[in-house]
Amino acid sequence: VRFASPKRVYHPNVCPKSGGICMDILNDSHIWSPSIGIERLLVSVASLLSEPRPEHGLNQEALEHLRNNPGVYAARASEAAGPIGSAATRTPSTSSSPPIFVGTPAGLAGGSDDNNENNNDNNDNDNND
């Protein structure tokens, strides 16, 4: 797993050249398992992005800024992400795509509860036999 555009990710745990991610579930053969699943993997990446691990890193410059000057780190991260990564530029009126919900019930993520109702109706019919 790696970022395809590493220059847009200024983060101490992301390699600025390859886009590789320094994350234990990816790099430790004792922890990694294909059964981890894509949802857990994405949650782990999101967690790492929001809570950098200052104990070690792949981007030494970002690591030093995070440790010694968090304000500079935040500014550089925002600058690297560009307008899409800046919360100030994201508004509902300028967003062209719907939000993505991870780990929510289908009804809240834009799915339909009609299928569930149909399934319940079918189950009720089975009980009447």
Tokens matching residue 67 = 């440790």
Give the span between the Cα atoms of 75 and 69, in whole angstroms: 10
| Catalytic status, residue 22 | yes
**Which pairs from 77-84 meet CB under 8 Å and 24+ separation?**
77/10, 77/11, 79/10, 80/7, 80/8, 80/9, 80/10, 81/8, 81/9, 81/10, 82/8
Residue in 9, 14, 21, 22 annotated catalytic: 22
Measured over all CA atoms, what is the biggest interatomic distance in the chain, rounded to whole angstroms? Answer: 72
Q: Which residues are designated catalytic?
A: 22
